[in-house]
C-alpha cells in the first residue's frame, strides 16, 4: 500500500488517528505508574495530577508490608516456569506429529485445540476441582502447574505447528537419505532449527501462567500458596475500599516481568501467528 500516493490531508488524518489510538492504549498504564509514586495525601486530594507533585517510594514499601508479595512472586515464578518448561517439553513432539502427519490423531488433536477455546472454564473448573481434590492436589502449586500446562497447550501447539511447518521436510528427508536414523534426524537437524520457536513458545506459556487468575483463585486456598494475581486482589479489601497507593505499586511490579518478556518475543508471536496463517 505504501506505493500508493496518499494526499497530504489524508496523511494528517492518519497521524491524528494513530495519535488517538496511542493515547487510548497508553494512558491507563501511565496513570497506574503515576498513582504508584504518589504519597497518600496527594491521592486523597480532589485534583490529581499526571506527574506526582511529591514522588515517593512509600507505596512500594507499604505494599510489601501489607501483603506477602515476595512469597507470592516466588509462587508465581515457580508455577509459571515449571508450566512453561513442561508445556514445551510435551507439546513439541505432539506439534511435530500434527505438522508432519495427516492422520486421525492429528485431526483429533486439532479439533481439541479449536474446541478447547470455546468451552467456558466454569464447566471445566468444577470437575477439575473434584479431580484434583481426589488426587490431594488442591492448594498445591503442583496441581496448579498441571492445570496450567494443559491450559497453555492449545496456543503452544498452534504456535509450534507453525514453526515445524516452517522447517522444510526435504531437509529431514535428505538427512534420512544420508543414512541418519529417525531420532538422529530429529535431534541434529530439526531441533536446532526449531529452537527459537520453542523458546518463544515457552516464554509465551510463561506469561500466560504468570498472568492467570481464575484457576489460581479456585485452586489455591491459603495465602502462603497463592500466586501474585490472587494476592493482588487482597489489596482491594472487602467493600472495594482500596488503599490506592500500595495497590498501584504492587500492580505495577507484577506487570514488569510480563512486559519485559513480551517486548522480547513480540515479533515472534506476531510472526508465529503469521507463519501458521500462511502455510496452511
Partner 1 sequence: MSVETATKRSGGTAAAGERPGHGRPAGRDHAAWFLVLPALIPILILSVGPLLYGILLAFTDAQSGRTQATRWVGTLNFQDLLHDSLFWESFRIGLLWAVGVTVPQFLLALGLALLLNQNLRFRWLARALAIIPWAMPEVVVGIMWRLVYNPDAGILNETLRDMGLGDGRDWLTGLATALPAVILVGIWAGMPQTTVALLAGLQNTPHELHEAAALDGAGAWRRFRTVTWPALKPVALAITALNFIWNFNSFALVYVLTNGGPGGRTRLPMLFAYEEAFRYGQFGYAAAMGCVMVAVISVLLALYLVGRLKGDQDR
Site for partner 1 in 46-65 (CB under 8 A): 46-48, 50
Residue 264 touches partner 1, criterion: CB under 8 A? no
Closer residue to partner 1 in complex, CB, 65/239: 239
Which of 124, 191, 193, 199: binder of partner 1 (CB under 8 A)? 124
CB of 25 to partner 1, least distance (A): 5
Closer residue to partner 1 in complex, CB, 167/251: 251
Which of 79, 91, 194, 200: binder of partner 1 (CB under 8 A)? 91
User: What are 96's three cell numbers?
Assistant: 511435530
- The window from 57-65, 77-85, 118-126, 187-195 that contacts partner 1 (CB under 8 A) reads 118-126
Please report, as residue ranges, which positions from 138 to 177 form the binding site for partner 1 (by CB under 8 A).
Answer: 146-147, 149-150, 153-155, 157-158
CB of 18 to partner 1, least distance (A): 5
Please report, as residue ranges, which positions from 182 to 201 form the binding site for partner 1 (by CB under 8 A).
Answer: 182
User: What are 16's three cell numbers?
Assistant: 491524528
Residues in the chain: 280
Diameter of the chain by CA atoms?
77
Residue 220 touches partner 1, criterion: CB under 8 A? no
Amino acid at each position: 500500500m505504501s506505493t500508493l500516493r496518499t494526499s497530504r490531508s489524508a496523511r494528517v488524518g492518519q497521524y491524528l488517528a494513530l495519535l488517538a489510538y496511542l493515547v487510548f492504549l497508553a494512558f491507563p498504564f501511565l496513570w497506574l505508574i503515576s498513582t504508584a509514586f504518589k504519597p497518600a495525601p496527594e491521592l486523597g486530594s480532589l485534583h490529581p495530577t499526571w506527574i506526582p507533585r511529591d514522588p515517593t517510594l512509600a507505596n512500594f514499601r507499604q505494599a510489601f508490608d501489607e501483603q506477602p508479595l515476595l512469597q507470592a512472586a516466588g509462587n508465581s515464578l515457580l508455577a509459571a516456569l515449571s508450566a512453561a518448561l513442561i508445556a514445551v517439553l510435551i507439546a513439541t513432539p505432539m506439534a511435530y506429529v500434527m505438522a508432519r502427519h495427516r492422520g486421525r490423531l492429528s485431526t483429533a488433536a486439532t479439533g481439541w485445540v479449536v474446541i478447547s477455546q470455546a468451552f467456558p472454564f466454569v464447566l471445566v473448573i468444577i470437575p477439575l476441582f473434584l479431580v484434583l481434590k481426589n488426587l490431594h492436589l488442591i492448594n498445591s502449586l503442583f496441581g496448579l502447574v498441571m492445570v496450567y500446562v494443559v491450559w497453555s497447550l492449545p496456543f503452544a501447539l498452534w504456535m509450534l505447528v507453525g514453526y515445524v511447518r516452517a522447517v522444510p521436510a526435504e531437509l529431514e528427508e535428505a538427512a534420512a537419505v544420508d543414512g541418519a536414523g529417525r531420532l538422529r534426524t530429529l535431534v541434529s537437524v530439526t531441533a536446532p532449527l526449531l529452537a527459537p520457536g520453542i523458546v518463544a513458545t515457552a516464554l509465551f506459556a510463561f506469561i500466560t501462567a504468570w498472568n492467570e487468575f481464575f484457576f489460581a483463585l479456585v485452586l489455591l486456598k491459603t495465602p502462603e500458596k497463592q500466586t501474585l494475581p490472587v494476592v493482588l486482589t487482597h489489596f482491594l479489601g472487602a467493600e472495594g475500599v482500596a488503599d490506592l497507593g500500595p495497590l498501584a505499586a504492587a500492580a505495577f511490579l507484577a506487570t514488569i516481568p510480563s512486559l519485559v518478556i513480551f517486548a522480547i518475543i513480540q515479533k515472534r508471536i506476531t510472526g508465529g501467528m503469521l507463519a501458521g496463517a500462511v502455510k496452511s
